[in-house]
Structures are given as C-alpha cells and as structure tokens.
C-alpha cells in the first residue's frame, strides 16, 4: 500500500520499496521498522548512546537513574538513533542496530559464563600448582 506523508517541505514515500531517508534530521516521522526494542541500547547503553549521537543516553552514568534510563533506551533507542544520526539507508541502520543488539546480548551471556568458568577453574588450578 502506497502512501505519502507530508512532514513540512518533504514527502516521505512509505510503500515498503522506497523510503526517503530522513535520518539524522530529528523529524518526528520514522519509517516502519525503525521502532522497536533495542538490546544494544539497553545493555551497552552509554557506549551505544555516544556512537548513535543520542546524548540523553549518558544519563545512564548517573547512579539510581541509570537503570531507568537503560529501560527507556531499550524502548526508544532505535527511534532516537534514526533521528539523531545520519544513516546511508534503512538497511544500513537496521544492520548496525542488529549488530549492537547481538553484541549486547553476547556480552550479557559471555561475561557470566566466563566468571563461572573462572570460579570453577581457579581452585582446581591453584591446588594443581601447589602440589
């Protein structure tokens, strides 16, 4: 279904095949597929915020506010990233945000697993080295 949405002096085509790239312009209209949960923004919040020019995300560094801001970034992060940074096209944006999410979830899983392995291996190794 094709439709035009007038946002000031620009018409944005939203027929699924072609979307005028309005990223980085701070406009209210965002294409379909931009909105959604961002694991990258949630787990890697302040680093993600800097790399996506979403400076409000630095509030994650403030104690007691950080966790709430991380949840807000998870909810609104993709939309803010689209509005605050210029992207080549939607596919580029989606690819980069999926990488952020992949690494956010990977680190969430990998760090505890490595900690558990270290907790299990250190006593074994220390008793082996003492003998």
Query: Residue 90 sits in which domain range?
Result: 35-130
90 Cα distance to chain centroid: 15
In-domain check, residue 115: yes
1 Cα distance to chain centroid: 29
CB 17 within 8 A of CB 3: no
Predicted confidence band at 33 (pLDDT cuts at 50, 70, 90)? Answer: confident
In-domain check, residue 76: yes
In-domain check, residue 21: no
| Measured distance CA(36)–CA(1) in Å, rounded | 22
**How many domains does the structure of the chain reveal?**
1
In-domain check, residue 103: yes
In-domain check, residue 65: yes
> In the chain, how many H helices and how many E strands?
4, 2
Say whether 91 sits in a helix, a strand or coil: helix
Predicted confidence band at 124 (pLDDT cuts at 50, 70, 90)? Answer: confident
For residue 11, is pLDDT > 50?
no
- What pTM did the predictor assign? 0.74
In-domain check, residue 95: yes
In-domain check, residue 30: no
């Amino acid at each position: 279904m094709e439709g035009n949405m007038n946002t000031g002096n620009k018409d944005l085509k939203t027929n699924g095949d072609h979307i005028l790239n309005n990223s980085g312009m701070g406009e209210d209209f965002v294409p379909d597929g931009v909105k959604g949960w961002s694991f990258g923004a949630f787990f890697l919040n302040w680093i993600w915020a800097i790399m996506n020019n979403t400076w409000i995300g630095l509030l994650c560094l403030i104690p007691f506010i950080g966790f709430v801001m991380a949840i807000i970034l998870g909810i609104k992060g993709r939309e803010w990233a689209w509005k605050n940074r210029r992207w080549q096209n939607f596919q580029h944006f989606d690819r980069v945000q999926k990488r952020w999410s992949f690494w956010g979830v990977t680190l969430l899983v990998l760090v505890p697993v490595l900690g558990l392995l270290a907790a299990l291996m250190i006593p074994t190794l220390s008793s082996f080295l003492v003998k």
